[in-house]
Chain A
Amino acid sequence: MTSDFARLGEVVAAAEHAPCVYQVAVQHPLGSIPLADVIRKADEAFEKIIDMATGYQVSAGPVTAQAAYPTEQIEFTGTTVALNRFFLDKGWSLGLPVIPPSPEAVQEVLMGTGRKPDDVVGQVPPRMGTLTVELVAVNAVMAGCRPEFMPVLLAALEALLDPSVNWRGSLATTATSQTVVIVNGPIVKELGIASEQGAAGKGHHINGAIGYAINLIAFNVGGSRPPYVDKSTLGSPADYVCWVFGENEDKLPAGWEPLHVDRGFQKSDSVITVLSSYPPVANLDHWSTAPEEHLRWWSHMVSPMLGPTRGMEQNPIVALAPEHAELLGASGWSKADFARALWQNVRIPLGTWPAGGQERVKAAFSSIGPLSPESMVPLVLKPEQFLIVLAGGAGKQSHYFPPFFDSLPASRLVTTQAGRRGDHS
């Protein structure tokens, strides 16, 4: 482990209930340095490695964790500004203003869910902090959520805690990864979740408050804090407020189903779908008048974010602007036609994949025919892997979200009063 990542290693080891001192830190970096320097670092670390391999003794006794419920209450006297400074100093704030989570405010937000406050939603990575419904409400208040936002927030958190989403990786990585939350179904209009012009941008209270609450929970409960645990090389504003938008289902071309129906839900269900992704790349095709022309824009503008060959099995988000969708639908293209065309046309040279993985890529696409490093291969194994969703309002700006490594989408039903029927990963 290199020195810059040693603290992250300790946190993850503690979260896995493993002894925290089983690693040897080597001066960062190890990658992209001359071989002679690698050898020197190995020589310098060798004795410590031998000591750790033979001399370290596991300490006995369990680690006692602080009870997660009820949440500790503190008394504070002062202005809201002073309280914000206090929270920042204590490490309970992302650096944006928070609303004081008074017991009264938390109780009010808890009225938005039928779940008990001591219900455990899950363990938030990377430090696997226990998240109770009460803690969700505390962070929801801080983010400015109203009681009626709770079902959406809880569904999003349950989806994020699905191991297939790999939220742990996204919260600790050096990559500029982000959480994307897509909302479908009647709840979009019932709550006024932004799904049209600027749906993922500013000025939409519920979208912003939910996105802020999710990231506060990742920070306060999961411990995803820069610089030692959240190792983002640069980070992004999405670390403050993650992506939350509703699908613009009204603008779906005739015969096109919304995302949640593609994923096996009924149209009348309200569903949250989440994914960890890289920042999106924009397709700003303002000129095409036929689908075949439009496809060329996707071919040229998609960023593959290549890494482990498991990327072939992942699910990029294709957030279509309604006007681009209209161009496709008016020409009689179904959603499946578009997905197939993306798969057929958005290709990269086999040689673009890291050398160590090219044999696996070759085997995966052997049905195409004999492949050389110059052969053009699809980004994903099957067209159905694309998560096609209508996003935004007027304007010819679609977006492609490459999935973060090993993140697969998870969907959860939004439970308001009735019990949930089934969730899909």
Chain B
Amino acid sequence: MSGETFLFAPRPRSLEGKTVMLRWNGKHNADHFLNRIAGLLTGRVKGVRIVRNWQVALETRETSSSPKLSLEFAGKLAAYRPDIVIGAIGD
């Protein structure tokens, strides 16, 4: 079976000074969950920068099970060069 090989990005040792993308898929309450996480992060982690997908790339705030769309959304969010993405997918 053929396939491409890719490497996973290593986790940062700390989130200090890092950019954290919060990805909401539009499902109920997941935005409130992520906003709470954002609040806890900024209260505890020095210099952390929070980016919310629904504020910078509204088209990615969509519920989808399509692999094709997942890749498309990932590409759009990667353009914001987050160090880490935290997603909440509700339900």
Question: Are B40 and A308 closer than 8 Å at their CB atoms?
Answer: no
Kindly state whether residue B61 has any CB partner on chain A within 8 Å. Answer: yes
Instruction: Report whether B37 and A68 are in contact in the complex, using a CB–CB cutoff of 8 Å.
Output: no
* CB-based contact A68/B90 at 8 Å: no
Q: A17 CA to B14 CA in the complex, in Å?
A: 25
Q: Is the CB of A38 within 8 A of B32?
A: yes
Contact A173 B65 (CB under 8 A): yes
Assess whether A406 is in contact with B11, with CB atoms less than 8 Å apart.
no
Cα distance A174–B63 when bound, in Å?
Answer: 13
The answer to whether A19 and B65 have CB atoms under 8 Å apart is no
Question: A38 touching B33 by the CB < 8 A rule?
Answer: yes
Chain B, 72-91, CB within 8 A of any chain A CB: 84, 86, 88-91
Complex formed: what's the CA distance from A42 to B69 in Å?
A: 27
The complex places the Cα of A386 from the Cα of B51 at a distance, in Å, of: 39
A56 to B29, CA, bound (A): 26
**Given that A168-B65, A308-B64 are known contacts, is A38 also in contact with B10, CB under 8 Å in the complex?**
no
Q: Is the CB of A38 within 8 A of B64?
A: no
Q: Is the CB of A29 within 8 A of B63?
A: no
Given A18-B8, A68-B1, verify A49-B86 contact (CB < 8 Å): yes
CA distance A168 to B3 in the complex (A): 19
In residues 46-63 of chain A, which contact B (Cβ within 8 Å)? Answer: 46, 49-50, 53-58
A2 neighbours in B (Cβ, 8 Å): 90-91
In contact, A49 and B91 (Cβ under 8 angstroms):
no
The distance in angstroms between the C-alpha atoms of A169 and B68, with both chains bound, is: 11
A58 CA to B12 CA in the complex, in Å?
12
Interface contact tally, CB-CB below 8 A: 109
> Complex: how many Å from CA A58 to CA B64?
27
Which among A17, A39, A42, A68 is the interface contact of B3 at CB below 8 angstroms? A17
B15 within 8 A of A: yes
Chain B contact-residue range equals 35 or more
A307 to B29, CA, bound (A): 16
Closest to B30 in A: A30
With A18-B8, A30-B33 in contact, do A163 and B68 touch (Cβ < 8 Å)? Answer: yes
| Of the residues B1, B11, B63, B89, contact of A57 by C-beta under 8 Å | B11
B65 CB contact (under 8 Å) in A35, A50, A166: A166
- Contact (Cβ within 8 A) A55 B68: no
User: Is residue B66 contacting chain A, with contact meaning CB distance below 8 A?
Assistant: yes
Interface size class of A (residues with CB under 8 A): 35 or more
Question: Which of B61, B62, B84 makes the CB contact (< 8 A) with A310?
Answer: B62
Option from B1, B14, B36, B66 in Cβ contact (under 8 Å) with A166: B66
Complex Cα gap A50–B16 (Å) = 12
A219 within 8 A of B: no
| Chain A residues in 8 Å Cβ range of B65 | 166, 168-170, 172-173, 405-406
Closest to A125 in B: B67
Contact present for B10 and A356 (CB under 8 Å): no
Answer yes or no: A79 CB below 8 A from chain B CBs.
no
- Extra pairs beyond A31-B27, A58-B11 (15, CB < 8 Å): A2-B90, A4-B91, A26-B33, A30-B29, A31-B28, A38-B36, A39-B36, A42-B33, A42-B40, A53-B11, A53-B20, A58-B10, A68-B1, A169-B64, A169-B66
Contact of A1 with B by CB under 8 A: yes
Contact A56 B37 (CB under 8 A): no
Of the residues B12, B14, B90, contact of A30 by C-beta under 8 Å: B90
Q: Which residue of A lies closest to B83 (CB)?
A: A53
A174 and B15 in contact (CB under 8 A), knowing A308-B63, A406-B69? Answer: no
A400 within 8 A of partner (CB): no
User: Contact between A356 and B36 (Cβ–Cβ < 8 Å)?
Assistant: no
Closest to A231 in B: B91
Residue on B with the closest CB to A68?
B1
With CB as the reference atom, state the residue of chain B lying closest to A1. Answer: B89
A46 B29 Cβ-Cβ under 8 A: no
* Inter-subunit contact B88/A30 (CB<8 Å): yes
Residues of B within 8 A of A57 (CB): 10-11
- Which residue of A has the minimal Cβ distance to B9? A58
Which residues, 1 to 31 on A, are CB-close (under 8 Å) to B?
1-2, 4-5, 17-19, 26, 28-31
Contact check, A54 vs B33: say whether CB atoms are below 8 A apart. no
A35 and B32 form a contact (CB under 8 A): yes
Q: How far is the CA of A29 from the CA of B89 in the complex (A)?
A: 11
**How distant is A358 from chain B, measured CB to nearest CB, in Å?**
13
Complex: A33 Cα to B32 Cα, angstroms: 11
B86–A53 touching, CB < 8 Å = yes
- A174 vs B89: C-alpha distance when bound (angstroms): 13
Which single residue of chain A is at the shortest CB-CB distance from B70? A16
